């Protein structure tokens, strides 16, 4: 049901009142002004406010002020929630990309070893020798490395390399025309160190996939002449390495491993 004031704004009522009062002998100018107001309720915006009644203009002003206050309160609430009550980040679901400079250093180091096998410590295919090599590189590097055999891939060799100013263990594998380097190094300065962070990207024709664990960055860089090696395959190999390292935590058994004489010189390079 409409209010009393809204009923008086009814154009039909205004016309009826004008018809009834049309014969009155009030001054012509007064009759004209009253009739025009009743025929055109919108012109009431220009009329002075009547005591006890809120004018339409003032009513809309109050609506606008209330809307501004609501927007301000909502903005403050959103800012405070994001700043002080933001939900914790789930790093195990976070995917990032290496910065271009670091990605370029890794891919160039990979390409060097893939094209010049003489820089690598050769492998005879003996599993015991592979394990000893991994242990010796770990001692030289001062941290655990990803010395994990990859199913379906042949181990080519390994070396201690430099990725920028960071020493890194590099294990190289091949399959048909595909080649992979598995790098183990400290997390570079300026990168997050939380366990579970993953890196996935393609950089200048090289798929790259890695993860962070115990302050170390373990990163796979691949290449293939045919272009068959893709990021999805590299991700599967990354998960294989991470699963192996998780199932077999680092222990002190790596102290003073027996390094075959044929490998000692290459480890020192």
Average the pLDDT over each of 34-43, 67-76, 129-138, 225-234 and give the range with the smallest value. 34-43
For residue 34, the model assigns a pLDDT of 52
Length of the chain: 269
Q: Which helix (H) or strand (E) holds 172?
A: strand 166-175
Question: Among 77-86, 118-127, 208-217, which range has the highest average pLDDT?
Answer: 208-217
Q: Which helix (H) or strand (E) holds 106?
A: helix 100-115
pLDDT at 3 over 90: no
For residue 246, the model assigns a pLDDT of 87
Helix, strand, or coil here: 18? helix
User: Other CB atoms closer than 10 Å to residue 244's CB: what's the count?
Assistant: 14
How confident is residue 121, by pLDDT bands cut at 50, 70 and 90?
A: confident
- How far is Cα 182 from Cα 110, in angstroms, rounded to an integer? 9
For residue 67, the model assigns a pLDDT of 73
Q: Which residue has the tokens 């405070």?
A: 80
- How far is Cα 111 from Cα 190, in angstroms, rounded to an integer? 25
pLDDT tens digits along 19-59 = 555 555 555 665 566 556 555 555 444 545 555 555 666 66
Q: What average pLDDT does range 156-176 have in this prediction?
A: 94
For residue 204, the model assigns a pLDDT of 94
Is the Cβ–Cβ distance between 159 and 113 less than 8 Å?
A: yes
Q: Which residue has the tokens 């935590």?
A: 249
Topology adopted by domain 91-268: Phosphorylase Kinase; domain 1 (3.30.200)
Give residue limits of the domains in the chain. Answer: 4-84, 91-268
- How far is Cα 94 from Cα 91, in angstroms, rounded to an integer? 5
Average the pLDDT over each of 112-116, 185-189, 248-252 and give the range with the smallest value. 248-252
Considering only CA atoms, give the Rg of the chain. Answer: 39
Is the Cβ–Cβ distance between 97 and 200 less than 8 Å?
A: yes
For residue 150, the model assigns a pLDDT of 92
DSSP-assigned letter for residue 151: T
String of b and e for 6-15 (b: at least 16 CB within 10 Å)? eeeeeeeebe
Is the Cβ–Cβ distance between 179 and 115 less than 8 Å?
A: no
Q: What average pLDDT does range 143-149 have in this prediction?
A: 92
pLDDT tens digits along 214-256 = 999 999 999 999 989 999 999 999 999 999 988 876 554 444 3
How confident is residue 120, by pLDDT bands cut at 50, 70 and 90?
A: confident
pLDDT at 209 over 90: yes
Average pLDDT value over all residues in the chain: 75
pLDDT at 91 over 50: no
pLDDT at 84 over 60: no
What is the separation of C-alpha 147 from the centre of its chain, rounded to a whole number of angstroms? 30
């Amino acid at each position: 049901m409409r209010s009393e004031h809204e009923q008086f704004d009814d154009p039909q009522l205004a016309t009826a009142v004008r018809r009834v009062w049309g014969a009155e002998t009030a001054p012509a100018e007064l009759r004209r002004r009253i009739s025009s107001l009743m025929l055109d309720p919108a012109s009431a915006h220009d009329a002075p406010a009547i005591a006890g009644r809120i004018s339409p203009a003032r009513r809309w002003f109050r609506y606008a002020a209330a809307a501004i206050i609501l927007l301000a309160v909502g903005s403050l609430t959103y800012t405070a929630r994001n700043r002080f009550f933001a939900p914790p980040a789930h790093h195990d679901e976070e995917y990032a990309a290496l910065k271009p400079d670091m990605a370029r250093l890794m891919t160039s180091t990979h390409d060097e070893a893939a094209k010049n096998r003489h820089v690598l410590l050769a492998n005879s295919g003996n599993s015991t020798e592979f394990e000893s090599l991994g242990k010796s590189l770990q001692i030289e590097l001062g941290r655990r490395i990803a010395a994990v055999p990859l199913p379906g891939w042949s181990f080519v060799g390994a070396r201690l390399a430099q990725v920028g100013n960071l020493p890194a263990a590099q294990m190289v594998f091949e399959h048909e025309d595909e080649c992979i380097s598995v790098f183990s190094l400290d997390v570079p300065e300026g990168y997050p160190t939380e366990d579970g962070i993953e890196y996935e990207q393609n950089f200048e024709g090289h798929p790259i996939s890695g993860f962070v664990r115990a302050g170390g960055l373990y990163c796979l860089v691949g290449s293939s002449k045919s272009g068959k090696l893709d990021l999805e395959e590299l991700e599967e190999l990354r998960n294989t390495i991470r699963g192996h390292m998780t199932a077999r935590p680092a222990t002190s058994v790596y102290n003073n491993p027996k390094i075959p004489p044929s490998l000692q010189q290459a480890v020192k390079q």
